Amino acid sequence: MSSFEKRMRRLINPKNTATQKKRKSYGKSNVPPNLIKIQTLNEYKDMICKNKDRIVVVRFYATWCKACKAIAPSYYRLATTYKDALFVDVPVTPENANLHQGLGVPSLPFGHIYHPTGGLVEELKIAKKNFPKFARVLKYYLDGKCDVEEYEEIMSKVVDDGDEGAVESGKRP
């Protein structure tokens, strides 16, 4: 069977194709249970205060932002993988623009990681090219590691990626 015939058969009967991948869509019903969406500064403060016993991961994004849309599935996969952490979505709206400015969010998408004992420990760009680094850093905190070699490796990657502003006096993994 020629490739043209295969394409035509797929058009006619798309459910019976073995090559077609089924992607998980994260609509409102498929949002992981440990993911919440907040809209206001008060909700943000309450969320941080009420969750001092676990790691909180925050994603700042805009609904119109292509880069934000591109990392959304990866972010949701992280939330599905790490059920012990709380994942928070904070969309940019006219009502909460002060929240983003007050927290010093320089670009979108942007991420914060809050640790139970350390407070805000990470502020990272989480665009598609930076997302693997963000996932590694999150895993580091969730695993509770304190490995000097791993710390040096992560630090060298942070510096090599040109994110000098992300390095703060020994608080980074």
Give the model's pLDDT for residue 144: 83
**Percent of the chain whose predicted confidence (pLDDT) is above 70:** 69
Indicate if the pLDDT at residue 112 is higher than 60.
Answer: yes
Say what the pLDDT of residue 2 is. 74
Of 97, 95, 92, the C-alpha closest to 108 is: 92
Query: What is the span of the domain harbouring residue 54?
Result: 24-162
Domain count, the chain: 1
Q: Residue 166: which pLDDT band, with cuts at 50, 70 and 90?
A: very low
In a domain, 2, yes or no: no
Q: What is the CA radius of gyration of the chain?
A: 19
Mean pLDDT of the chain: 82
Strand-strand pairing, 86-91 and 119-125: unpaired
Q: What share of the chain has pLDDT > 90, as a percent?
A: 54
Tell whether 70 is covered by a domain: yes
Whether residue 13 is predicted with pLDDT greater than 90 in this model: the reply is no
In a domain, 65, yes or no: yes
Residues in Cβ contact with 80 at an 8 Å cutoff, skipping those fewer than 6 apart: 32
Q: Which amino acid is at 137?
A: V
Q: In the predicted model, is pLDDT for residue 124 greater than 80?
A: yes
114 in a structural domain: yes
Tell me whether residue 8 is in a domain. Answer: no
Catalytic residues: 65, 68
* In a domain? residue 16: no
pLDDT, position 64: 92
In a domain, 53, yes or no: yes
Asked if residue 11 is part of any domain, the answer here is no
CATH number assigned to the domain comprising residue 69: 3.40.30.10
